[in-house]
Structure 1
């Protein structure tokens, strides 16, 4: 039967569209149809009631997901985060393999409304964003980001323009994280920072792309990630090599592109890549080194060994890559490359799993990493790398108040960092973690010395350069701090917001307020830079703008205490602290 509708029954409306879909719904239904149906029905009912609290309307409930329309982008994103929280709470009493998880997409634009629901290209964009989103994440378009970036204190990671199915133009896309703290440390693209302008270093330059896990068990992916980490770490110790940081290399993990394109985006000469396959007690690793200029493979090898030989394989792969790039390596550096290996293979495996979690920069993953490192030390109490890594998790816990024993976390971090150095004086990360603790204990000279030792051991560690720069700025040496931050950004082109925060602080100390504003405005998470922006506008005489920013800050940071902030600051000179505090007071803080 055909029916016609008059155009008057169709209305246009500007709104924020949310699509949320259950991850692995077909598998869940296949394994336990009745239980999955009942659980999802209960969950969807709860979400529908919650949606109205955010001025939203669930227009359609499909078998495994929802389509909702909101008056504002702010409400849509807030509900999206709440959706994941409700689902997580709902899953607490369910078996791990039966948990119901969503992925969500949000887009802002004009939509068409009629008696059948919501339609139009902007609805399709939200649906396609949901399709590419990671489980328990919210992907949003740039139009949504522009509306909420200064209103909602979440973490925003720019993923670049995404070519979505059946959508003509690429859509600039962001991932929203409920924990903004971790997002400031995560690798990220930047909309206004083309990588083509990067200068190629004079020394041989290499990027190690994430090795691919080719086994059937997805849980084995941590082996491939861990081996990639180790190769990068070993190569980074050579002064005569320029090695792209781990964060930037791993940005290519989910992207499939020719080595030449990866080399162009990072502006390096060589690309190393490979694969890992584990089967019972054996492991097969393939690796190759490609000259991006000629697109020629200049070295390739396959290692098929017992899993117990993993340390020998690591040494061989690293040595082959170094030799293939024709770098003259001093015997002292060759010796320094050899790290203290654990007595127990399970200890090494636990550290690799810890690395898999720690770089996700979430409270939950940091806790999992901490558990892995503690297990490694139980298996081998003289494993220096595990001790240094455990110190790092405690430093992160202290930095973001992620643990119940925040007051003692820094003291424990100090203990594990010193233990790591005692066990292995060639461990750069141990000295780096020690430097962080010493800085916030206001032991400035000791902190500077620890960071110098760390960078002497690993001159290619971008995060060490950034952390050292922060210590220099708090010690009054801002010009040198800026130099190290520039080096950090070149080593890690997909650098986190934290680098920009450190750079803005150095500029503020130098009273280069225009540079502060330009730097902070490049942050993907601008609510974290609002204090610095307000203080800079005050110093430039624009008090009205400063007060507008201060008002937004109060909404995003309702518990901010200027007194507590000043007390925690590790400035060597009281004048630096007061310079910032007085500026904030003038802005209305």
Structure 2
């Protein structure tokens, strides 16, 4: 009997508070030292509030804390006070650098293990924190029932929510002015990642002659989205059972077990056609993204292809960004979580900081799963990006490393379109242009919407002295993906082609577009300076060089000349004009 008593697990009922900093990894990427200091300062304040309200700090987990209170009223009052203090501290801070806490509160039975607490009661609090809006508080129904009418705050009923690894749905309430679920950071869901259903687009106006076009857009988009690596797209036969029906997207998401719903409409007015599309988080019902396509009606089938390509390309980057934000809040990220985060950092643009963050996530994924295809392709992309943007001393070594990674990826997944595209880039920038163009064409055969492959065929043409053909390929890429995350790179190469051909005014236009899309792209600054110098705008050219050297202080004419990607005679002749422009603009000789 005594032995049974001593082995009994300790339990008690408690109010559990889980809190963390929204977007902490992003803040650390912006300013590691400053973010760590700001977190320490804020914790001094919040620790005092916890003590004042009778709570106990159970443990810290990086940027998060787990707290225990004997009273739900004390827990809620403390959480409200914490958010009020944080809001005050953030008043004079730039919006993108504000430190915003998310807080989840649950009343539940907990297991006692020394000073630690465990069990579903704790897990629910952690999941509620994960779906709270930055600066907001979410509470479970068990906590709400004990606190309503006792604390002077407003509650918003968010309905029953399915929380990751929690067996039953939990009714959730949000507190105060931040009552809406964060639209920028969707909650974790039990549905598969990148799972989506494309609902039949609505035919506004009901023109029966247009019905085939509307259905064609839906079917083609379903097919093309399924080409996104890792995507799970509900078959069109299932999706079309919802045609012309009013749909509750949250209920639909639950029934089909998908994270996202894409819905849209087609409307024709005279000789113009308008297509609207919206991506919806099936878990919350919130709109994550919307797009409108409008154009004069010409060939409907050509228009259908263009619409589908644009939507598929945009959705690819949008879904990666959304999944990366979900993964950021996963306590135990797996290889897929890490790859999404790596891709999201890569898509932010080619700066040393962004590339280092991307590489870090991909390397963590490879440590968990050596040979992971997406991580191998990702590390190759990072190596190519650094080699072709900053012209480092180890450029050849980085390109060789990229080729090893992408070759390994292709041995495991020979029909991976992005891997073929990356191999094509490596070959182009190591003086194997014809092979590189062939690899990009192979990538397009596997995925007709891979706009990057179109653009890089144009780059390849430039590297063999056929720059007059480059613009057409760049414009095709822009047609397929006008808001692409790499648009600034395409525009830079469009400008470079024009500059080498002596079309300086057109070159300036392309290069300004590149910098409008990404001010942190150093090579575009240098090329723009060269073009400006050729038309006599020396003051602006030299200012542009200074801006480029801030981003890449090691750039010199010698370094650039010694790292020519191609030794094709016609390209080298054209390139001499670029050296002249760089020299006039004031780029260091080196």
TM-score between both structures, scaled by the size of structure 1: 0.46
TM-score between both structures, scaled by the size of structure 2: 0.46
Larger RCO (alpha carbons 8 Å, 6+ apart): 1
